[in-house]
Chain A
Amino acid sequence: MIAANQVNSSRLEMKDIKKSFSGVSVLQGVDLELGVGEVLALLGQNGAGKSTLVKILGGDYARDAGVIALDGVEVHFSSPRSAIGQGVRILPQELSVMPEMTIAENILIGDLPATFNLGISKLDRAAMDEKAKSLLAELGLEVNPRALLKTLAVSEQRIVEIARAISSQAKVLVMDEPTAALTETEVNRLFEIIRRLKSRGVSIIYISHRMDEIFEISDRVLVLRDGKVTGRFETARVSREEVFAAMLGDAVEGLYPENLAIIGKQVLEVSQFNLEKKLVDLSLDVRQGEIVGVFGLIGSGIELLGKALFGALGNKPTGEVKLEGQLFKPRNPEDAIRYGVGYIAAERKREGILAELSVRENTTLPFLQRFNRGWSISVPEEEQYVSRWIKQLSIRTRGSSQKLRYLSGGNQQKVVLARWLADGVKLLIMEEPTRGVDVGARKEIYAALRDLSNSGLAILMISSDVEEVANLSNRIVVLDRGRVSARFERGVSTKELMHAAAQTIPSH
């Protein structure tokens, strides 16, 4: 039983929430309390159970066991609609807005004001404008409510989404990685809004991987690991190390391999590289046995660099690129592969894996001609080749003919990595090597990368994960708004990297 005085101060109470999917227990009795006007940071590795917990709260999933109480009253959400009706709103990581509708329509879509004439209802545009305007003003955004939503910047669209949530009297807002696509100034604006919402008594569950943000905005921190609560902290009284330890458990130990690199000859040399003003006068080089990290926040240009070097953007990039001293100007990816360059895209699902093809077919795709015997592919030889990599990278799969979509994110990533581990590949351009990868696989991928680099592969690692860049790279290039803002050797702190990446970062 919940004591009466606790109920009064508590807005949301989730008790002993359990959930399994086809026999696999994803939440093993999670408790979560959220006070009125409180910001609770929800932390955990991918697969820790955060999104399942949030989906149960939002009415997307039914819980197997447990109690949810809102303002002391037990509630049952059968659908997202019923959750919204009772004041619980989930703002997913991806914006869910309608770009072709007006700002006012986007905000008020759930409850459009209308006038009635002769029994025919007509949208009350004036009332809509007024309501939308006042909601946005409260969030500090002044725009014409009749403008189409797509005319706004992404960060402003996010604010519209929040306005929609508060228009329906949301009591609990869940923000899932709300800053993923925002610049530093926009993040500060969002925080300003969160503070205003707090003062109105809105309670917020804030999901993010960015420690800086969590320590700035949250009141309390709840950490999940493997479906259990492994940490409950007051933000003001906890250190990052403690939070990390709760998140990672023992795995944090030895996450990054020793660096034993023996540096060889130069493989890649980029100078005066430009891409339509999004990358400006870039220069960098990678030598054999080196992992060179390129770090930047989203929007800094790092998301374009890999594709530009790999020829995936055609002849748009300008500048001089040399591979082992020879001019390297691929017209398309096929061309780059012939030169001995591999590329792993950040968006694994969209640009990396072929979900319906098998592990074997995914692995051999770029160098399939090597398995040609006469006119046909020799499947046994393919099989032999692939099973070697399955063993060496510890890819957990039922076999080489398993479809890739049945593998976990980490194992999919290993398959995508194995694709480029063929003879003759000199340079691997790898974006976000461990995005959406659990900590165990993360460690294995880091070890594999280091191992490959030690055996002579030059690796250009482009990542927005400050920790992995700081800990895995031999040298680091930091991009800020398309330009190199700093260069570091191994041993630089994550804080220094963050500062170099966002020079506009305010000091708190």
Chain B
Amino acid sequence: MQPPKPSPVIEGSPQAGWIKSLRNPTGVGVLFAFYILMLIVFSILSPFFFSPQNFISITTNMAYIGLMAGTQTLLIIAGGLDMSVASVAGISGVVLSLLLGVGFNIWVAAGVSLLLGAFIGYLNSISVTRIRINPLIATLGMLNIVEGLALVMTGGLTRPVSDDGFSFLGSGRVLGIPMPVILMVISFVALYWLLSTTRFGRFVYATGGNPDASRLAGVPVNGVLTRLFVLSGVSGALSGLILVAMLGASAPTAASSNLLTVIASVILGGTSLAGGRGSVWGTLLAVLILGTLNNGLVLLNVSSFWQSVTQGVVLLLAVGLDQLRTKVLGD
């Protein structure tokens, strides 16, 4: 080898590595600023808004959505997409209640529901990685199948589920914090750890960034996607169980209307639909923002019809501004 050329500058210390691995930090910063601004505005407009109780109520209402959005973030970073996740939440509650009806122990039934979620996720992964159906189409198909089956199994009816131990999952508190929130936070911390410090996490970014190049560099691209689809199915099923525990009943389409909120949170959180870029913290912030927005509008007595409009506007604004920022400043 020739004598080394003037050595390039190595920036920062190695210790700063994990901080740098918070991807797209500017995007998350903008979101955070937006969140704070929203808190201030609602606090001024409504005397009931700024209180610990209200904050807890917001996070509790969003927790099961956050659970789905967290795993969806990883899946979208890897270049996938799971439109069936909310319908899986529906069917997992239905299966739980049906199994209870035939005398199963509730925890066994919950276990079966989670396995079913995993299985649906696995079927999705086969459609995408083996048969090579576009993820949007594959999981849209699955959404219809699963939702239809849930309706068939129940005749479209809501079924009560009452079990004190189980309802603790939905309404119990530990140190004053509701169980759904605890589960969501645990899930986000775990996903962050997985994504930012493990080999698997690196593979997730690589797979979404350039699947062909990744495969040639030895990344098991299909294996990564399969695991993420299964994880997404499990997170859907878990959300469904939490929802049942919160409501004390299962309904076949209980979570269906949340699908778009899940996807919107991931996108609003700065994850690129094209894959290869994104962070779970952005998604968590986005979940909080969308939850807070709905809550604030309720407190201001704005018709619920308008809430959907506002949510759409916020999504377009946030993503549009981010595009503009990238265009003007580069990143």
Write the nearest CB–CB distance from B195 to chain A, whole angstroms.
11
Given contacts A350-B213, A353-B210, A395-B8, contact A377 B218 (CB under 8 A): no
**B203 surroundings in chain A (CB, below 8 A):** 368
B215 nearest in chain A by CB position: A333
1/0 per position for B12-43, CB-CB distance to A under 8 A?
10110110110000000000000000000000
A412-448 residues at the B interface, CB under 8 angstroms:
419, 444, 447-448
Complex CA gap A4/B277 in Å reads 59
Complex CA gap A337/B199 in Å reads 16
- Is B209's CB under 8 angstroms from A357's CB? yes
Q: Which of B15, B17, B21, B216 contacts A310 (CB 8 A)?
A: B216
Given contacts A333-B216, A353-B210, A354-B206, contact A377 B199 (CB under 8 A): yes
1/0 per position for B202-224, CB-CB distance to A under 8 A?
11011001101111111110000
**A361 surroundings in chain B (CB, below 8 A):** 202, 205-206
Given contacts A352-B213, A401-B12, contact A357 B206 (CB under 8 A): yes
Given contacts A333-B215, A351-B213, A383-B17, contact A396 B8 (CB under 8 A): yes
Given contacts A369-B199, A448-B1, contact A354 B216 (CB under 8 A): no
Write the nearest CB–CB distance from A47 to chain B, whole angstroms.
18
**A390 surroundings in chain B (CB, below 8 A):** 7-8, 10
1/0 per position for A379-422, CB-CB distance to B under 8 A?
11011100100111011111111000000000000000001000
State the total of A-B contacts with C-beta under 8 angstroms.
Answer: 114
Given contacts A357-B206, A451-B1, contact A377 B197 (CB under 8 A): yes
Asked if B276 is at the interface (CB within 8 A of a chain A CB), the reply is: yes
- Is B10's CB under 8 angstroms from A400's CB? yes
- Is A345's CB under 8 angstroms from B206's CB? no
- Is A355's CB under 8 angstroms from B199's CB? no
1/0 per position for B78-114, CB-CB distance to A under 8 A?
0000000000000000000000000000000000000
Asked if B11 is at the interface (CB within 8 A of a chain A CB), the reply is: yes
Write the nearest CB–CB distance from A239 to chain B, whole angstroms.
31
- Is B202's CB under 8 angstroms from A379's CB? no
Q: Which of B20, B214, B215 contacts A312 (CB 8 A)?
A: B215
Asked if B2 is at the interface (CB within 8 A of a chain A CB), the reply is: yes
- Is A380's CB under 8 angstroms from B4's CB? no
**A365 surroundings in chain B (CB, below 8 A):** 202, 206, 214, 217-219
**A21 surroundings in chain B (CB, below 8 A):** none
- Is B198's CB under 8 angstroms from A399's CB? no
**B212 surroundings in chain A (CB, below 8 A):** 350-351
Asked if A489 is at the interface (CB within 8 A of a chain B CB), the reply is: no
Asked if A231 is at the interface (CB within 8 A of a chain B CB), the reply is: no
1/0 per position for A321-338, CB-CB distance to B under 8 A?
000000000001110010
Write the nearest CB–CB distance from B169 to chain A, whole angstroms.
27
**B328 surroundings in chain A (CB, below 8 A):** none
- Is A391's CB under 8 angstroms from B215's CB? no
**A369 surroundings in chain B (CB, below 8 A):** 199
- Is B17's CB under 8 angstroms from A379's CB? yes
**A116 surroundings in chain B (CB, below 8 A):** none
Complex CA gap A197/B198 in Å reads 60
Complex CA gap A15/B9 in Å reads 40
Asked if A376 is at the interface (CB within 8 A of a chain B CB), the reply is: yes
- Is B14's CB under 8 angstroms from A383's CB? yes
- Is B216's CB under 8 angstroms from A312's CB? yes
**A29 surroundings in chain B (CB, below 8 A):** none
- Is B209's CB under 8 angstroms from A401's CB? no
Q: Which of B10, B202, B218 contacts A399 (CB 8 A)?
A: B10
Write the nearest CB–CB distance from B277 to chain A, whole angstroms.
6
Write the nearest CB–CB distance from B4 to chain A, whole angstroms.
5
**B214 surroundings in chain A (CB, below 8 A):** 354, 365
- Is B213's CB under 8 angstroms from A394's CB? no
Complex CA gap A377/B199 in Å reads 6
**A396 surroundings in chain B (CB, below 8 A):** 8
Asked if A372 is at the interface (CB within 8 A of a chain B CB), the reply is: yes
Complex CA gap A368/B11 in Å reads 22
Given contacts A334-B218, A357-B206, A398-B9, contact A391 B17 (CB under 8 A): no
- Is B197's CB under 8 angstroms from A391's CB? no
- Is B210's CB under 8 angstroms from A345's CB? no
Complex CA gap A334/B218 in Å reads 4
Complex CA gap A312/B217 in Å reads 10
Asked if B130 is at the interface (CB within 8 A of a chain A CB), the reply is: no
**A394 surroundings in chain B (CB, below 8 A):** 4-5, 8
A380 nearest in chain B by CB position: B14
Complex CA gap A387/B12 in Å reads 12
A454 nearest in chain B by CB position: B1
**A444 surroundings in chain B (CB, below 8 A):** 2
Given contacts A391-B7, A394-B4, contact A379 B217 (CB under 8 A): no
Write the nearest CB–CB distance from A352 to chain B, whole angstroms.
6
Asked if A234 is at the interface (CB within 8 A of a chain B CB), the reply is: no
Complex CA gap A395/B6 in Å reads 10
Complex CA gap A334/B215 in Å reads 8
- Is B1's CB under 8 angstroms from A392's CB? yes
- Is B8's CB under 8 angstroms from A333's CB? no
- Is B217's CB under 8 angstroms from A375's CB? no
Q: Which of A356, A366, A372, A380 contacts B217 (CB 8 A)?
A: A366
Write the nearest CB–CB distance from A444 to chain B, whole angstroms.
8
**A77 surroundings in chain B (CB, below 8 A):** none
- Is A356's CB under 8 angstroms from B202's CB? no
Write the nearest CB–CB distance from B224 to chain A, whole angstroms.
12
**A353 surroundings in chain B (CB, below 8 A):** 210, 213
- Is A377's CB under 8 angstroms from B198's CB? yes
Query: Which of B205, B213, B215 has the most chain A CB atoms closer than 10 A to its own CB?
Result: B213
Write the nearest CB–CB distance from A315 to chain B, whole angstroms.
16
Write the nearest CB–CB distance from A405 to chain B, whole angstroms.
10
Complex CA gap A390/B219 in Å reads 23
B20 nearest in chain A by CB position: A401
Complex CA gap A368/B205 in Å reads 14
A261-299 residues at the B interface, CB under 8 angstroms:
none
**A398 surroundings in chain B (CB, below 8 A):** 8-9, 11
Given contacts A379-B17, A394-B4, contact A333 B213 (CB under 8 A): no
* 19 A-B contacts (beta carbon < 8 Å): A334-B219, A337-B218, A350-B210, A354-B206, A355-B210, A365-B202, A365-B217, A368-B202, A377-B197, A382-B17, A387-B10, A390-B10, A391-B4, A391-B7, A392-B1, A396-B8, A399-B10, A399-B11, A447-B1
A-B complex: 8 closest residue pairs judged by Cβ atoms: A379-B17, A399-B11, A380-B14, A376-B197, A394-B5, A383-B14, A337-B218, A366-B218
Q: A350-B210, A356-B277, A357-B205 are in contact. List 8 more A-B contacts (CB 8 A).
A: A361-B205, A368-B203, A377-B198, A377-B202, A391-B8, A400-B10, A419-B217, A448-B1
Which B residues form the contact surface with A (CB < 8 A)? 1-2, 4-5, 7-12, 14-15, 17-18, 20-21, 193, 197-199, 202-203, 205-206, 209-210, 212-220, 276-277
Which A residues form the contact surface with B (CB < 8 A)? 310, 312, 332-334, 337, 343, 345, 350-357, 361, 365-366, 368-369, 372, 375-377, 379-380, 382-384, 387, 390-392, 394-401, 419, 444, 447-448, 451
